Amino acid sequence: MGNMGSEKKMPKRITVCNSKGGSSKTSTCRNLGVIAARSGFNVALFDLDEQKTLTNWYDERPKNMVRMTLVTGTMADIGEIAELDDFDLAFIDTPPLTTGLAEDSDDRQMHELMRKVIAVSDMLIVPSGQQKEDWVSSIAWMDYLKMRHAKYAALLSATTRRSKSFEVAKNQILRAGHSLCPKDIPRVEDIPLSYTYGIGVVEMKGAKGAEDYESVWAWLRGELGIAAKAVGE
């Protein structure tokens, strides 16, 4: 932090969310967070999922790896996140957010929570699997985000590119009128393996999935209008 250049509009907050559980939200947060930190950005990770999957990963993190700040909380803390700015980039991990998608739903708490989430986020990433049960939920979730005028995009994750369902998923998301990251993350064992070591796939020598997350990061930088490397202090 502390850069006075007027072109540098930091901090940026990226919220990773979906109504669907197990859609690669935490994997997205930790892998993009690590890449951003290795590019010199001051990265904060917010774990708002009471399962603490991201926190448990962070607790395993070897001391010699690039530093990030971790804040553990719950969705009720979303309002306070707007007050925090001692970082360049924040990746906000959320639990599956399942209730009251329709605008006329009387789930006021959910709507109020999502209003805050969208207000604090420069971008929302919606990771999704490629099977119908995945993209139907993801599209419904993105319909909601769109209705609330959020800036968001889907990120197909844990994909099997050779399966017909991969093309079907991309077509369905695009035809529903939603933005889709042009790069997907394939299903590779190095992603769960890197979790057990407290690292990102880019920190594992020769790991599969590393190049893919690097490309997603490059795309995300373009979306947010930020430089490849953090500007020095």
In the complex, which residues of this chain contact ligand ATP (CB under 6 A)?
21-27, 49, 51, 53, 96, 157-158, 185, 187-188, 191-192, 195, 209
Instruction: Please tell me whether the peptide bond between 11 and the residue prior to it is cis, using omega within 30 degrees of 0.
Output: yes
Which of Mg ion, ligand ATP, none interacts with 138 (beta carbon under 5 to 8 A by kind)?
none
E strand or H helix at 159, and its extent?
Answer: strand 152-159
Dihedral sign computed on CA atoms, order 44, 45, 46, 52: negative
Between 24 and 42, name the residue whose CB sits nearer to ligand ATP: 24
- Give me the count of residues in the chain: 233
Residue 122: which of 224, 34, 231, 217 has the closest Cα? 224
Write the CB contacts of 82 (distance below 8 Å, at least 6 apart in sequence).
116, 119, 120
Among 12, 13, 20, 25, the residue binding Mg ion under the rule CB under 5 A is 25
48-67 residues near Mg ion, rule: CB under 5 A: 53
26 lines the binding site for Mg ion (CB under 5 A):
yes
Q: Which is nearer to ligand ATP, 88 or 93 (CB)?
A: 93
The binder of 225, among Mg ion, ligand ATP, none, by C-beta within 5 to 8 A per type, is: none
Q: Which residues bind Mg ion (CB under 5 A)?
A: 25-26, 53
